[in-house]
Amino acid sequence: MTEKPARQRATARSAAKPAADNDPARPPLLAGGNPQIPKGFGDEPVQAYIAAMPEWKHAVGKRLDAIITRAVPGVRKAVKWNSPLYGADEDGWFLGLHCMTKYVKVAFFRGAALDPPPPESSKQAHVRYFHIHEDRPFDEAQFEAWVKQASRLPGEKM
């Protein structure tokens, strides 16, 4: 059996993608399906990121944003490094989102100080992660409690 030329292999891969992923108006997806959104401040770039989140992750992004916005009135939002960030003080961030291949990663930048701390550790001593998977519902009340606690801690300058 002969191997297909690289151009034919690339065409076959792109044909297998859902139609929405081939839409030139949609932002490109980076590794793990993370949307590539230009840096920006405010709700608009965060909503653009959420709209571009692939498949089931889109609904998770909408739900997380709604919980964060409700839990922290006046929350600051931005997209930096292709990740939405949320902040409560003028120049710091308490939480960030990122699409991974099999889950949505929520980074609590001072998560080690939360009670109880989110379950996933980090190489950085203060950071803790919460992973949301498609087939595992998450405890929204616990998530909201973490968000409220995190918003009261000093923000991470980025």
Residue spans per domain, the chain: 26-151
106 or 29, greater pLDDT:
106
For residue 8, the model assigns a pLDDT of: 40
Structure tokens at 106: 């929520």
For residue 24, the model assigns a pLDDT of: 53
- Percent of the chain at pLDDT exceeding 90: 71
- Within 8 A by CB and 6+ apart from 98, the residues are 32, 34, 82, 83, 104, 105, 107
Residue 106 reports pLDDT greater than 90: yes
For residue 25, the model assigns a pLDDT of: 65
Q: Which fold has domain 26-151?
A: Aspartate Aminotransferase, domain 1 (3.90.1150)
Residue 114 reports pLDDT greater than 80: yes
Global pTM? Answer: 0.82
Average pLDDT value for residue range 103-129: 96
For residues 111 and 93, is the Cβ–Cβ distance under 8 A?
no
**Backbone region of residue 123 per phi and psi (left: phi > 0; alpha: psi in -120 to 50; beta: other values):** alpha
Average pLDDT value for residue range 120-145: 95
